[in-house]
Amino acid sequence: MIKVLIVDDSALVRQMLSQILGQAKDIEVVGAAPDPYVAREKIKKFNPDVITLDVEMPRMDGVTFLRNLMRLHPMPVVMISSLTEAGANITLEALEIGAIDFVSKPKIDLGASLGQYADEIIAKVHAAAKARVRPYTARKPRAVAEKYNADAVLARSGRKHFQTTERIIGIGASTGGTEAIKEVLEGLPPFMPGIVITQHIPKAFSGSFARRLNESCALQVQEASDGQQILSGHVYLAPGDQHLLVQRDGARYICRLNDGPPVNRHKPSVNVLFRSLADNVGPNALGVMLTGMGDDGAECAGEMREQGARILVQDEKSSVVWGMPGEVARRGFADEILPLHRIGQRLIDWE
């Protein structure tokens, strides 16, 4: 039985989450708290397996409480976050601190919206209960060289000559993926092949996530746009409400965004990205499957292998949840299974 403590200042949210989680036979809501101070006492009393934690609360905000919790008494936490720009930034900070995942909380028709996410909420609590929790230790930001554009050296002439990439790296991730992607990209130099990424994340969060990545690594990171040319030294992140595909356009590769239905209940889907790499890039592609819940991407990682691409998989020990990478490994599609800290160097050494 998974014991859950709900921490939220909204009585409605506490009630809704209790009802939703109560539907699962293996989940028991052992308590609810309106703020972190009450939560602290209930953690001591009930010793929950998972906490759902609101971001915005009186007396102490959720991120401050999370930082203290992960430093002193690390445990699996699922954040309850509003779908706003401010909510996105705070939630991404919470994931950096050590939260396992988050549930979106739209401000309009809150009760009905949470009810629609019942299956997702239950699945994320299940995943959190099995996840590997890391204690929080503040780390110094890595120094990143200032990114100048060409104007710093040469005035623009009007001619357009871009270096295309003949090889492309495709990365897929879900639960725990925001931090895993960040760690991989931070170790890469600016001369890498073009990189395309599908991370399961809402639209309200994908732009903020791309900007945070751009600030922390030597590569140019941006949210992908339709028809955008894929260039060396650049990273393209799938928007949170559209599938990202790679398409051949003459001698170059471009990003294509697709508004089709969710695949494996996800939009964007890693399977869609990986199939486009299999079909359009073939042996010049390298697929990377990072931490994540479920099996999205596994099927089409096999299609990439059939077309001569290589597949790297994050190992179980370094994954928050070894669902997506584990499924690729179980199906025999992984060329290498590596700890997270070795994946960046393996991408640099790709020949």
pLDDT, average across residues 317-328: 97
Write down the catalytic residue from 35, 49, 296, 315: 296
Is 243 among the catalytic positions? no
Angstrom distance (rounded) from CA 196 to CA 112: 35
Angstrom distance (rounded) from CA 345 to CA 351: 12
Convert the pLDDT of each residue in 25-68 to its tens digit.
999 999 999 999 999 999 999 999 999 999 888 888 889 999 99
Convert the pLDDT of each residue in 55-66 to its tens digit.
888 888 889 999
**pLDDT band with cut points at 50, 70 and 90 for residue 156:** very low
Is residue 150 in a domain? no
In 33-65, which positions are buried (b, 16+ CB within 10 angstroms) versus exposed (e)? Answer: bbbbeebbebbeeeebbbbbbbbbbeeebbbeb
Query: Residue 276 sits in a domain of what CATH number?
Result: 3.40.50.180
DSSP 280-309: HTGGGEEEEE-SBSS-TTHHHHHHHHHTT-
Write down the catalytic residue from 200, 234, 243, 266: 200
Is 174 among the catalytic positions? yes
Write down the catalytic residue from 81, 82, 174, 232: 174
What's the domain count of the chain?
A: 2
Q: Is residue 202 located within the same domain as residue 335?
A: yes
User: What is the pLDDT, as a whole number, of residue 45?
Assistant: 96
The whole domain housing 309 covers 163-348
**Among the three residues 82, 115, 130, which one is the final residue of a domain in this structure?**
130
Q: Roughly what angle, to the nearest 10 degrees, separates helices 298-306 and 270-280?
A: 10
- Give the Cα-Cα-Cα angle 148, 149, 151 (nearest 5 degrees): 110
Prediction pTM value: 0.89
Angstrom distance (rounded) from CA 99 to CA 74: 10
